[in-house]
Structure 1
Amino acid sequence: MATKSTTKFTANDVPSQRERRVLITGANSGIGYEAALELARKGAEIIFPARSLDKANDAISRIRQQVPGAKITPAILDLASLASIRAFAARISFEFPGESLDLLINNAGVMAVPQRELTVDGYERQFATNYLGPFLLTALLYPHLKPQSGTRIVTVSSGVSNQGKIEFDNLQSERAYSPMFGAYSQSKLADLIFQQELQRRLNASGSPILSTGAHPGYAITNLQTSGPAGVMPIGFRIISTILKPLASQDAAHGAFPTLYAAVSPDVTPGGYYGPSGFQELKGYPVPAKIAPLAKDLALAKRLWSETERLVGVQFTP
């Protein structure tokens, strides 16, 4: 892990984003919303997909209350549906043809779905939404990313990736389903593996595009308020309740690592960033701990190949 920086990066440190086009998923709430808000403040044009136009337009309205005249395009995207992802990518190709994107932030996700659910494609919902969907989206949008310095692909993972493992005989939780420290942690480890392997492949192809990653620490968002309640063991929930006032941060602060990974001139290729505090729960963005499994080259190649099979596309950066 890289040496931790003492620079206290905040939203005020985001440089001008004028003349830059940003696509961020899951920006209608939580850290995605806060990241989109700050990028809009700095002049970015934002493509703003959500699962419904109502959700997208509501969030856009809230941003424009603070940033009048913000240039934001709403769209429909359900990362749990491969067909929806393909339709969205086709719309981007039509409305923003050519090499038109400066920044892709894969932020959207679900957490600790209480009971095992399958998507329309037959995949476990957390693995599909958090990992398969962003992989396919990145693959389809890659031709639209500007092949130049400053272009980035940011993948948002989670601190629980350190508890995850990739079970190729249980990728869809068909053998056993554990909402938080099974399916969710596996999906977030897969995100981190993807982010790291993508940088290796970008390096191999000579691309100037960076693959960076981030996690928000213990940020209080709708994932915490509506996702894991009643799923984690009672002892863990008690400890969480006790620590929450001391170890958590709001969504605005939780967005700092994502913003840092997206725009800071100090990031490194393949850099992964999280909060600076105890157990990376809260604080300013610094290089974060990368789960050992995310450095396993053989595992990364196998997962990449299996993912291509599952989503039905070959992704060669």
Structure 2
Amino acid sequence: MSPSLPGHTVLVTGATSGIGYQTARLLAESGATVLVHGRTTEEAHAAVDRLVSLAGVQADRLCPFGADFARLEEVEQLAARVLAEHPHLDVLVNNAGMAAPERHTVTVDGNEIAFQVNFLAHYLLTSLLEPALTTEPGGRVVNVSSSLHRTGSIQWADPNRARRYSRLAAYAQSQLALTVFAADPRVTAVSVHPGICATSLLPLYAHQGVAPAEGAAHVVRLCAPDTEIVNGAYYDRDQRVTPAPAATEPRTVKRLNKLADVLVGHTA
């Protein structure tokens, strides 16, 4: 059963397809106001139109937002608009993600693209939205992570992996960083592996996956205020499990925050 979320406002990043789209649908059907983020404003509007026309979601529960996470300036603009229009935010779902490309690719901000899109952009967005998430008790962040974080390692001296690049290692590093970030004490946050779903990321995992809506249900459950969460907890679908050891080490959390502050220009 879907939780009841009337009066709640939730921002879902990467909500134009896959798990993010289905998460937005389930949240809106549960009564929440959903801020639907897409890489461009046009993609966000198109997703809202699909949710209304195909899924039957009420249009007044959906607000489209565009921002390319490969450009940190656009992340800052997204946060500013959200704060101006929705000064209280109940939940931030950090879902936007990409598979690392075959060739080493650096963004205009100078970061390896998967590390930026999958982690740094969410780090910056969460930091900037902290005032909205903490205006009242109960605000939370749900990071849509991956079981592949267990295979990752953060290359502290070369986070952009310029010296030795592997797309799978780059992706795993970004997911480990996102999972570690959930243990940051500033905002209550958890991470969840939603299962292997039939999305654009499926080739990283297997040949077959479950429907994205099934994975989205695990995300939505963690958004509900009646689901008690512990800061830094990690879930494999609906089960709380122990993440990779690095994910809960206070020293690693502090070190990652310091690195992320440098890479995003300490604009938070």
* TM-score normalized by the length of structure 1: 0.79
Confirm or deny: 8 A CA contact 2:111 2:263 kept in the other structure.
no
What is the distance in 2 between the residues matched to 1:13 and 1:51? 27
Say whether the 8 Å CA contact 2:42–2:66 is kept in structure 1.
no
> 2:240 is matched with which residue?
287
1:161 pairs with 2:149:
yes
Residue 238 (structure 2) pairs with residue 249 (structure 1): no
Aligned partner (choices 214, 219, 230) of residue 258 of structure 1: 219
Counterpart pick for 2:59 among 69, 80, 83: 69
Aligned residues: percent identity?
Answer: 34
Question: In the TM superposition, what whole-angstrom CA distance separates every residue of 1:116-171 from its partner, at most 9, and x where no partner exists?
Answer: 11111111000000010000000111111244333211111100000001111220
1:161-191 deviations in Å (ceiling 9; x for gaps): 00001111220011111101x1000000000
- Counterpart in 2 of 1:123? 111
Which of residues 1, 8, 32 is equivalent to 1:20?
Answer: 8
- 1:192 matched to 2:179? The reply is yes
Cα offset for 1:45? 0.9
Q: Secondary structure at the match of 2:201?
A: helix
The residue correspondences of 1:214-225 to structure 2 (distance < 5 A) are: 214-224=192-202
How many angstroms does 1:257 deviate by?
2.1
Instruction: Report what 2:71 is aligned to.
Output: 81
Change (3 A) 1:87 1:178: same
Matched with 1:132 is 120
Aligned partners of 1:78 and 1:36: how far apart in 2?
A: 19
CA contact (8 A) 2:99 2:201 kept: yes
What is the aligned residue count? 265
Root mean square deviation, CA, Å: 1.8
Structure 2's unaligned 5+ residue stretches are: none
Q: Is the 8 A contact 2:2 2:26 kept in 1?
A: no
For 1:45, the equivalent position in structure 2 comes to 33
SS at match of 2:189: strand
Q: What is aligned with 1:150?
A: 138
CA contact (8 A) 2:194 2:236 kept: yes
The within-5 A match list for 1:109-120 is 109-120=97-108
Distance in 1, matches of 2:33 and 2:58, equals: 13
CA contact (8 A) 1:51 1:78 kept: yes
Q: Look up the match of 1:93.
A: 83
Q: Deviations over 1:259-311 (max 9, x none)?
A: 12211623321222123xxxxxxxxx111331111122212211111111111
Kindly provide the amino acid, as one letter, of the partner of residue 176 in structure 2: L
* C-alpha distance 266-71 of structure 1, shift in aligned 2 (>3 A): closer
Label 1:69 to 1:92 Cα distance change in 2 as closer, same or farther (>3 A).
closer
Q: Distance in 1 between matches of 2:170 and 2:106?
A: 12
In the other structure, the counterpart of 2:256 is 303
1:23, 1:105 within 8 Å by CA — same for their partners in 2? yes
The aligned amino acid for 1:210 is T
Summarize deviations over 1:38-97 as a string: whole Å, max 9, x none. 00001111111211122111111111122133421112111121111111112223323x
Show the counterpart of 2:162.
174
Q: Write the letter of the residue equivalent to 2:80.
A: A
Tell me which residue corresponds to 1:268: 229
